[in-house]
Amino acid sequence: MTVRATFTRMEDSTQADWVLIMPEAMKMARALPDRVLAHLQLLDGDFGGFPIDRLSHCRQSATLAYRDGRDEEYVVCALLHDIGDTLGSYNHPDIAAAILKPFVSEANLWMVQHHGIFQGYNFFHHIGLDRHMRDQFKDHPFSALTAEFVEKYDNPAFDGQAEMLPLSFFEPMLRRVMAAPRQSVYKAALEK
């Protein structure tokens, strides 16, 4: 039988309640990579009109980054950059960035969060938007990094004939990157 806290309002919780809650919360936190991998699987078969499905696109982006010698954190960012497509149809980069935020550098986080606007250079003019929208960030310190990500790893990753390493290849990298948060309001509590 699982013992649970009994408060009905958070403000009524006690330290004794949190002694019960924290081990369960830690189990859930350790399973985050499993949930992320399961959510990535939702992109399998989701073409959305594109030449390849979204999972293949993510795998191909990560493969290109890996083959180019990028570090694991960057490769994981490439793998997850479009994970938000299913939940955030209008803001998918924000979803991916929210998942990655505790685990990645400020530069990689910014790159993921802004890749959609930078990718827009390649197609916004076809849908009635300003393809130069990314120019608003031209002086930002991570602008060049993001433009390079789109040019080298996001933009060319729609080729059904190109190499796509299996998700299982990237799984250990994802697990290592998500092993412990680098920045989180909960970091100090987790280190106890």
Q: How far is CA 39 from CA 51, 87, 173, in A?
A: 21, 10, 16
Per-domain residue ranges of the chain: 16-190
The residue behind tokens 């004794």 is 16
51 C-beta neighbours (distance < 10 Å), count: 10
H-helix or E-strand spanning residue 106: helix 106-119
The residue behind tokens 């989180």 is 184
70 C-beta neighbours (distance < 10 Å), count: 19
In a structure prediction context, what are the per-residue pLDDT tens digits for the chain, which is 192 residues long?
A: 677 899 999 999 999 999 999 989 889 999 999 999 999 999 999 999 999 999 999 999 999 999 999 999 999 999 999 999 999 999 999 999 999 999 999 999 999 999 999 999 999 999 999 999 999 999 999 999 999 999 999 999 999 999 999 999 999 999 999 998 998 887 777 676
Is domain 16-190 classified as CATH 1.10.3210.10?
yes
- Does residue 184 sit in helix, strand or coil? coil
Task: Read off the DSSP letter of residue 153.
Answer: I
* Rounded CA separation 59/38 (Å): 14
